[in-house]
Amino acid sequence: MRLFACLSLWLLPVCLAADEPMRHVHDPTIATHGGEYYVFSTGKGIPIRRSKNLLHWETAGRVFEEDAPAWARQEIPGARDVWAPDISFCGGQYHLYYSVSTFGSQRSCIGLATNKTLDPADKEYQWIDQGKVIESFPGKDDFNAIDPALVLDARKRPWLVFGSFWGNPTCQRGRQHVPCWKRAASEEAPGHRERAEWRCENRLAADGRHPRTPNRGR
């Protein structure tokens, strides 16, 4: 998990200054596989880009053939694309968490897609949508189910950090890394408690600690 988080924070600025395929990339997450780098980002079907050197990039299809999974469009009428994916590798496969919502709404869902490989040429390459993991409703929940980020604690337990643009970031713990999560206590984001303040939080595992890296903006 540490590798993916570090790559996202340290190497992506290099990517964004390079090729045309990397322009206008929103909410990127990056992983390595077979000597190549793969970037997933917000967009229709979750666009994929890949590179061998982090400088020269090419498009590599997308995760979903549809702009958003059918179940997500049914749950979130008006959803036109998929937001803020988060890629990680554990349990022998890649886990891509993603969110579906509409701007300014608390009616949101986080879903999960899995794949054994990131190489489209591999015969085992297939994104399997595992469906809905967590959702939020206006007037019911004190969080917004968007912007997921997976981290493992010192005991290798998975935690999903999510929730922004509404209340405070939230942590939930997974069981055996499947779409089954137990709510943990909400944690205060630093600074003000205004709506639309803290977004896209992530955490890095470093020496047994998990420093927060939220973004602030509107």
CATH label of the domain that carries residue 7: 2.115.10.20
The residue written with tokens 């997976």 in the block is: 150
Res 213: pLDDT: 45
Q: Please, which pLDDT band fits residue 166 given cuts at 50, 70 and 90?
A: low
pLDDT bracket for residue 161 (50, 70, 90): confident
Average pLDDT value for residue range 133-145? 91
Over 60: is that where the pLDDT of 113 sits? yes
Determine the Cα–Cα distance for residues 79 and 37; give it in Å rounded to an integer.
29
Total structural domains in the chain? 1
- Residues 193-202 pLDDT 10s: 333 344 444 4
Would you state the pLDDT for residue 199?
46
Residue 203 has what pLDDT?
43
DSSP reduced 3-state for 173: strand
Residue written as token pair 């879903």: 111
Please determine, for residue 67, whether its predicted confidence score (pLDDT) is greater than 80: yes
CA distance 160 to 150: 5
pLDDT band (50, 70, 90) for residue 71: very high
DSSP 87-124: EEEETTEEEEEEEE--TT-S-EEEEEEEES-S-TTSTT
Parent domain of 204: 2-216
What rounded mean pLDDT belongs to the chain? Answer: 77
Best CA proximity match to 26, nearest among 1, 5, 49, 10 = 49
Cβ atoms of 169 and 201 closer than 8 Å: yes
pLDDT number for residue 151: 83
What's the pTM?
0.76
